[in-house]
Amino acid sequence: MQLVVMALCYPSLMASIFTVFFLLSISFTCGGAQPQQKQCRNISLGSSLYPPTSWTSPSGQFALGFYRQGSGFMVGIWLVGIDNITVVWTANRDDPPVTSNGTTLNLTKSGKLLLTTDEQGKEKIISDTMSESASYASMFDSGNFVLYNKNHSIIWETFSYPTDTILGGQILSTGFQLLSSLSETNHSTGRYRLKMQIDGNLVLYPVNTLDIASESYWASGTDGYRNGIGLKYRLYLNHSGSLEIIQSTSMDIVQDLGLSSKSNNTIYRATLDVNGFFRLYSHTFDKTGKLQSSDIEWSALEDKELCKVNGFCGFNSFCTLNDNKPYCVCLPGTDLVDVNNPSLGCERNFSKVGCSSSKVHVESYNITTTENMMWIDIPYTHESMSTKEECGKSCLEDCNCEAALFNTDSNCQRHKLPLKYVRRDPSQDTVALFKVSIRSWNETVPIPVKPPVHVFTSKKVMVQILVLILAFTAFSCLGLGVSGLYMFKIRVLRYKRLKESETLGLTKGLTLNLYSYDELERATNGFKDELEVDKSTFENMVKVGLWCIQDEPVLRPSMKSVVLMLEGIIDICTPPCPTNTSI
Ligand SMILES: *[C@@H]1O[C@H](CO)[C@@H](O)[C@H](O)[C@H]1NC(C)=O
Ligand SMILES: *[C@@H]1O[C@H](CO)[C@@H](O)[C@H](O)[C@H]1NC(C)=O
Ligand SMILES: *[C@@H]1O[C@H](CO)[C@@H](O)[C@H](O)[C@H]1NC(C)=O
Ligand SMILES: *[C@@H]1O[C@H](CO)[C@@H](O)[C@H](O)[C@H]1NC(C)=O
Ligand SMILES: *[C@@H]1O[C@H](CO)[C@@H](O)[C@H](O)[C@H]1NC(C)=O
Ligand SMILES: *[C@@H]1O[C@H](CO)[C@@H](O)[C@H](O)[C@H]1NC(C)=O
Ligand SMILES: *[C@@H]1O[C@H](CO)[C@@H](O)[C@H](O)[C@H]1NC(C)=O
Ligand SMILES: *[C@@H]1O[C@H](CO)[C@@H](O)[C@H](O)[C@H]1NC(C)=O
Ligand SMILES: *[C@@H]1O[C@H](CO)[C@@H](O)[C@H](O)[C@H]1NC(C)=O
Ligand SMILES: *[C@@H]1O[C@H](CO)[C@@H](O)[C@H](O)[C@H]1NC(C)=O
Ligand SMILES: *[C@@H]1O[C@H](CO)[C@@H](O)[C@H](O)[C@H]1NC(C)=O
């Protein structure tokens, strides 16, 4: 114990002594742990931590405690760095961060690892899967934090619950997976997973997918079936930086993934990164225990394969590299759902003409072609056709068709949106055909073919739409002679507003959802007041307006209903949301 205390206080002085000491007495182990875990620091019952303190391992290279996330703290284990830390494990990673007020992490007298946040008076047991009480805990130089019972047997260890990283000596067991972090600064569950499947294959997938080949973007190819059914494999990172798939029982190496040959004072970690890459890193420390360098030793995918990561781009978009940086590009006829978050994918930027009139349908659309495209969705029709023109024509004439894929086998596959994992791959000899609208805004006035635009960013467009909605309420639904008062006001307002559009108090780049009436009212900044109507009448007018410009004539209310709706005699359902119908 004295040695440990000395080591903690004078790490540089003691480092060499310790090394010699442990090399000589290999039999010395800490508690019941593996000899390879080497030095540890014992933590007795009744010890506690509060933000931002931690329990460090004897080498000072790893610490367990509170690390900063956003304006609060998370409980985790990290590799101590020079300027920043590398988090390797987080407790309850999807819980909100805790504040420093009255928060403690206790190894209680009753033998539990307990997080108490005074603010909410909440308690959370971190070692919640433990069946018996701990007698003491140890923080190892390997980065493992272990709880022992009276008999010095391990009853709980962080190595059994990896988040996005395994360290030297750690195993990812059969059937378990690593889940990436959301970002470098937010370690809650992110977008990718690495699964050690029971069939022996180690596979990368986006989260929330099935364990099927079409969802995967990398696999080790070590399916047990090849070598005989029933063999369970594990992923193991050994202490000298060899990342390998091993057999559970014999520990035989099935496949070496990454090898490294660094000096002794190196820590290895295999991490499923934020961007979906699975990589082996080395962190080399100098003699004084200071982090000297960090390197990538191995990666499941190469840098230039960034676009192979499934789910990097959302629906209806594909990834392309520009200057080695990946970008998401929308398919023809679609726009980003959220310009600030390209990974959310794209949606069609025009509304569909109903299937009732095939002539109108064909005249409204054209086909845009793109080569070397692929996606994984199952088509609703496979047909044999000799040319891509023929394939395009069949899609154009089919009001259900939104995209088609023509391949060299003279196979024409028709699809509906959304399309998933769209890829541009020069090795694919395919032609993708996308249905796009040929109508422009000008031609559609006064009857907009566009649905009530869900998201738009320019002031002018919004004013136009407001005017249209209101004008429509009067002109198109009510018709002349009905409710002349509204008509008069709207006409006046229309001209006035168009002229004054620049002075409207709309923020630039405002994103407005027409279905959020409060937001609409706020954004129109007094428009409602000028109409001299109350909130509910204004809402009703907007709703009726939206009903009146439904593309589907069947959906448009009758003139009689409109009058009743506006007078508040009958209830108005919320109009179909275009975001749903256009996806
Ligand atoms: C930690 O505690 C265990 C059990 O009491 C003991 O065997 C071991 O020597 C201690 N290790 C250190 C480094 O103090
Ligand atoms: C981390 O991301 C989650 C999920 O988006 C979010 O709820 C949480 O507030 C984020 N935490 C911080 C500190 O930004
Ligand atoms: C901080 O951490 C990030 C992510 O691990 C790394 O890319 C960056 O180089 C680190 N910065 C410094 C100064 O070490
Ligand atoms: C923390 O406590 C201080 C002093 O009691 C108080 O001023 C502050 O608002 C508290 N912060 C939070 C986030 O509760
Ligand atoms: C946790 O530790 C702190 C400081 O030692 C102590 O005040 C508090 O009562 C402890 N809480 C529990 C639940 O043991
Ligand atoms: C500890 O070991 C003793 C004797 O080997 C055994 O009787 C006892 O059940 C063990 N206790 C625990 C908690 O494992
Ligand atoms: C790790 O694995 C490599 C390759 O199998 C082997 O050469 C090395 O001795 C192993 N290291 C340890 C510490 O087991
Ligand atoms: C690593 O340790 C071994 C003894 O285990 C020693 O012989 C060797 O010189 C060391 N290598 C380096 C680069 O320090
Ligand atoms: C829809 O997107 C295409 C590009 O994919 C663009 O050329 C077209 O102008 C957009 N149409 C509308 C109405 O925004
Ligand atoms: C349809 O697309 C083709 C090829 O891109 C083009 O030549 C043609 O002019 C387009 N037709 C219309 C009506 O826009
Ligand atoms: C649409 O109208 C604008 C201005 O009114 C005009 O400049 C533009 O050429 C028109 N576009 C089409 C396709 O008619």
Give the whole-number percent of the chain exceeding pLDDT 70.
66
* Centroid of ligand 2 to alpha carbon of 190 (angstroms): 10
Task: Name the residue with the closest Cα to ligand 5, atom 4.
Answer: 48
The whole-number pLDDT of residue 55 equals: 95
Please answer whether residues 470 and 544 qualify as being in contact, where contact means their C-beta atoms are separated by less than 8 angstroms. Answer: no
According to DSSP, the residues that pair with 195 across neighbouring strands are 177, 203
Q: Please tell me whether the peptide bond between 553 and the residue prior to it is cis, using omega within 30 degrees of 0.
A: no
The whole-number pLDDT of residue 63 equals: 95
State which amino acid sits at residue 265: N
Q: Which atom of ligand 6 is nearest to the CA of 153?
A: 14
The whole-number pLDDT of residue 390 equals: 93
pLDDT: is 210 or 513 the higher one? Answer: 210
- pLDDT above 80: residue 549: no
Q: How far apart are CA 284 and CA 295, in angstroms?
A: 9
The whole-number pLDDT of residue 554 equals: 56
According to DSSP, the residues that pair with 296 across neighbouring strands are 281
Name the region of 491 (left: φ>0; alpha: ψ -120 to 50; beta: rest). Answer: alpha
Average of per-residue pLDDT across 75-95? 92
Task: Name the residue with the closest Cα to ligand 9, atom 7.
Answer: 333
Q: Is the CB–ligand 3 distance for residue 86 below 6 Å?
A: yes
The whole-number pLDDT of residue 528 equals: 57
Residue holding tokens 């997080």? Answer: 115
Least confident window among 55-59, 110-114, 202-206, 434-438: 434-438
Q: Tens digit of pLDDT for each residue in 53-83?
A: 999 999 889 999 999 999 999 999 999 987 7
Q: Tens digit of pLDDT for each residue in 141-185?
A: 999 999 999 999 999 999 999 999 999 999 999 999 999 999 999
Q: Is the CB–ligand 4 distance for residue 183 below 6 Å?
A: no
- pLDDT above 70: residue 367: yes
Please answer whether residues 220 and 257 qualify as being in contact, where contact means their C-beta atoms are separated by less than 8 angstroms. Answer: yes
DSSP string of 533-571, one letter each residue = --HHHHHHHHHHHHHHT-SSGGGSPPHHHHHHHHTTSS-
The whole-number pLDDT of residue 118 equals: 72
Least confident window among 182-186, 204-208, 323-327: 323-327
The whole-number pLDDT of residue 505 equals: 36
pTM of the model: 0.71
Segment holding 306, helix H or strand E: none
Segment holding 12, helix H or strand E: helix 11-24
* Centroid of ligand 7 to alpha carbon of 171 (angstroms): 14
* Centroid of ligand 9 to alpha carbon of 435 (angstroms): 12
| Cα distances (Å, whole numbers) of residue 169 to 43, 159, 184, 560 | 21, 9, 24, 76
Q: Tens digit of pLDDT for each residue in 281-302?
A: 999 988 887 888 899 999 999 9
For residue 239, give every residue at least 6 positions away whose Cβ sits within 8 Å of its Cβ, in sequence order, or none. Answer: 36, 142, 168, 169, 268
Q: Which of 109, 115, 116 to mutate to test the pocket of ligand 5 (most atoms within 8 A of CB)?
A: 116
The whole-number pLDDT of residue 223 equals: 81
Q: Which domains does the chain have, with CATH numbers?
A: 36-305 (2.90.10.10), 353-437 (3.50.4.10), 531-583 (no CATH)
Q: Is the CB–ligand 7 distance for residue 240 below 6 Å?
A: yes
Give the whole-number percent of the chain exceeding pLDDT 90.
44
Task: Name the residue with the closest Cα to ligand 3, atom 10.
Answer: 84
Nearest to 47 by CA among 1, 5, 104: 104
* Centroid of ligand 5 to alpha carbon of 49 (angstroms): 9
Give me 309's structure tokens: 């990561």
Q: Which of 22, 24, 264 to mutate to test the pocket of ligand 8 (most atoms within 8 A of CB)?
A: 264
Least confident window among 233-242, 246-255, 463-472, 529-538: 463-472
The whole-number pLDDT of residue 542 equals: 64
Q: Which atom of ligand 9 is nearest to the CA of 441?
A: 13
Least confident window among 60-74, 448-462, 530-544: 448-462
End-to-end CA distance of the chain: 65
* Centroid of ligand 1 to alpha carbon of 41 (angstroms): 8
DSSP string of 246-291, one letter each residue = EETTT--EEEEEE-----SSEEEEEEE-TTS-EEEEEEEE-TTS-E
Q: What is the mean pLDDT of the chain?
A: 77
Task: Name the residue with the closest Cα to ligand 2, atom 13.
Answer: 70
Please answer whether residues 188 and 94 qualify as being in contact, where contact means their C-beta atoms are separated by less than 8 angstroms. Answer: yes
* Centroid of ligand 10 to alpha carbon of 367 (angstroms): 7
Q: Is the CB–ligand 7 distance for residue 201 below 6 Å?
A: no
Nearest to 351 by CA among 582, 97, 39: 582
* Centroid of ligand 7 to alpha carbon of 245 (angstroms): 13
Ligand nearest to the CA of 135: 1
> Is the Cα dihedral 296, 181, 184, 74 positive or negative?
negative
Average of per-residue pLDDT across 489-504? 45
Q: Is the CB–ligand 11 distance for residue 250 below 6 Å?
A: no
